[in-house]
């Protein structure tokens, strides 16, 4: 149980300096003078709940309000970043209490799903988060890549800046709105998280290039930066190109932007966390020049079963109906048996006294919800208990998607 002498509350304006210090030290870094001002500018106090030992914050959870896209439908999304705690206060229940309070706040604020990035899956699984997206990490020496087919004719690259964020957003939304998992980006997100290296001293602006076709229309863009590869040659740091964002609306933009990246052949490596179905490797003359491996996407949490199901678009081929018993130790409002109906593009869930077709923890509802895993796959591994086997096909149909879940954003 948490120490009763610890106070849990929203931060206040006077707490920003200590919160910035906590965040830096918790991640084994050094506080920077600019961090307090950046937090005060971008993160209102009501987004962060913290544990206080007297006047000192010792643990915190920040929840940013966002929107997640799924097949042209926007769902309010609680974006957790970061979760911090001083080493001396760990394993005392403070983070657990803050996460439970954050779940309550997200439900009150109408954010039925949540996401976070972490290398500590076991910790966050205790509170209902689960892996429900993935990426495909591509890395290669740009000097070794040759494409199999000639590029479509026409089009040029043009440099852009932070001030062009609306132009970039127009391209981005055309691409991601019909897909599954991208975030709706507001100006602050574009400037602070996409176009700026906010973690580096001075927050340098990243390189931005737009692809313009022969008709003068914007058809794609790439945002990238050079960074140290961690290798040296003759005492000199070897550089690599890290791609933050890559969006192409047609084949000309896709090829043109990649060919622009390949001109950076003084770098020894290019790294990009691509869509799981990105065709880059297939385009290469020698696919073995590209190292391709799974990269983790965010862990997803169903905060409010009723709200999450109601906000999810239905793209299945026929109507579906089933019941599921949910276990949720951190969000008791989700506990119980739910009847789910899906038809005519919509879904809904309501509590029922009927027998459950399947039984599962709230964790495994997340990969079903996003389309990351099918009911049959989860059942085959014993992750869900099946009481009516014929219901599995209904469940997979209800949670079907037209595109695997993926976001380029990291938070």
**Whether the predicted pLDDT of 115 surpasses 90:** yes
Model confidence band, residue 235 (pLDDT cutoffs 50, 70, 90): confident
Query: What per-residue confidence (pLDDT) applies to 317?
Result: 85
CATH numbers and ranges of domains, the chain: 7-111 (3.40.630.30), 135-296 (3.40.630.30), 304-398 (3.30.1050.10)
CA dist., res. 43 & res. 226, Å (int): 28
Query: Are the CB atoms for 301 and 115 separated by under 8 Å?
Result: yes
Model confidence band, residue 3 (pLDDT cutoffs 50, 70, 90): low
Q: Give the phi and the psi of residue 87 in degrees, each rounded to 5.
A: -55, -40
Query: Are the CB atoms for 276 and 292 separated by under 8 Å?
Result: no
- Summarised one tens digit per residue, pLDDT across range 333-378 is 999 999 999 999 999 999 999 999 999 999 999 999 999 999 999 9
Q: Is 123 exposed, middle or buried, given 0-12, 13-18 or 19+ CB atoms closer than 10 A? A: middle
Q: How many residues does the chain have?
A: 411
DSSP 128-160: T-EE--EEEEEEE-GGG--BSSPPPS--EEEE-
Q: What is the distance of C-alpha 338 from the center of its chain?
A: 27
CA dist., res. 307 & res. 325, Å (int): 16
CA dist., res. 296 & res. 366, Å (int): 15
Q: Is the Cα dihedral 323, 329, 330, 336 positive or negative?
A: positive
Q: What is the distance of C-alpha 89 from the center of its chain?
A: 28
DSSP 329-394: SS-GGG-EEEEEEEETTEEEEEE-SSPPSEEEEHHHHHHHHHTSS-HHHHHHTTSSEESSTTHHHH
pLDDT mean over 26-30: 84
Q: Which helix (H) or strand (E) holds 39?
A: helix 33-42
Query: What per-residue confidence (pLDDT) applies to 32?
Result: 82
Residue 205 is classified by DSSP as: B
HEC assignment per residue over 67-82: EEEECCEEEEEEEEEE
Query: What per-residue confidence (pLDDT) applies to 299?
Result: 98
- Which has the closest alpha carbon to 295: 283, 282, 318, 278? 278
- Summarised one tens digit per residue, pLDDT across range 153-174 is 899 999 999 999 999 999 999 9
Beta-bridge partner residues of 293: 137
How high is the mean pLDDT of the chain? Answer: 95
Q: Which helix (H) or strand (E) holds 227?
A: strand 218-233
């Amino acid at each position: 149980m948490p120490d009763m002498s610890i106070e849990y509350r929203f931060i206040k304006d006077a707490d920003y300096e200590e919160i910035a210090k906590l965040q830096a030290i918790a991640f084994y870094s050094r506080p920077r003078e600019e961090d307090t001002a950046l937090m005060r500018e971008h993160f209102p106090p009501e987004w962060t709940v913290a544990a206080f030992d007297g006047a000192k914050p010792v643990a915190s959870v920040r929840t940013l309000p966002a929107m997640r896209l799924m097949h042209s439908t926007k769902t309010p999304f609680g974006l957790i970043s970061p979760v911090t705690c001083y080493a001396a206060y760990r394993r005392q229940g403070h983070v657990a209490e803050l996460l439970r309070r954050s779940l309550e706040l997200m439900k009150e604020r109408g954010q039925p799903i949540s996401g976070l990035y972490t290398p500590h899956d076991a910790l966050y699984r205790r509170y209902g988060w689960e892996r429900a997206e993935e990426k495909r990490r591509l890395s290669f020496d740009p000097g070794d890549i040759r494409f199999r087919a000639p590029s479509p004719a026409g089009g040029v690259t043009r440099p852009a800046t932070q001030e062009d964020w609306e132009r970039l957003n127009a391209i981005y939304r055309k691409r991601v709105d019909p897909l599954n998992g991208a975030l709706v980006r507001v100006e602050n997100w574009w400037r602070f998280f996409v176009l700026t290296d906010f973690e580096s001293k001075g927050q340098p602006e990243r390189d931005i290039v737009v692809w313009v076709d022969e008709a003068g229309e914007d058809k794609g863009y790439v945002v990238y930066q050079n960074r140290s590869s961690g290798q040296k040659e003759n005492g000199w740091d070897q550089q690599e190109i890290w791609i933050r964002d890559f969006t192409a609306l047609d084949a000309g933009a896709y090829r043109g932007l990649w060919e622009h990246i390949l001109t950076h052949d003084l770098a020894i490596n290019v790294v990009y966390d691509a869509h799981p179905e990105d065709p880059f490797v297939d385009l290469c003359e020698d696919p073995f020049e590209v190292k391709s491996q799974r990269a983790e996407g965010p862990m997803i949490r169903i905060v409010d079963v009723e709200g999450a199901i109601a906000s999810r678009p239905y793209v299945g081929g026929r109507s579906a109906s089933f019941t599921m018993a949910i276990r949720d130790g951190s969000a008791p409002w989700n506990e119980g048996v739910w009847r789910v109906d899906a038809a005519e593009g919509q879904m809904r869930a309501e509590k029922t006294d009927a027998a459950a077709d399947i039984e599962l923890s709230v964790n495994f509802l997340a990969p079903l919800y996003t389309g990351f895993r099918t009911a049959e796959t989860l059942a085959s591994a014993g992750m869900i208990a099946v009481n009516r086997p014929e219901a599995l096909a209904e469940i997979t149909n209800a949670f079907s998607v037209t595109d695997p879940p993926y976001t380029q954003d990291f938070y």
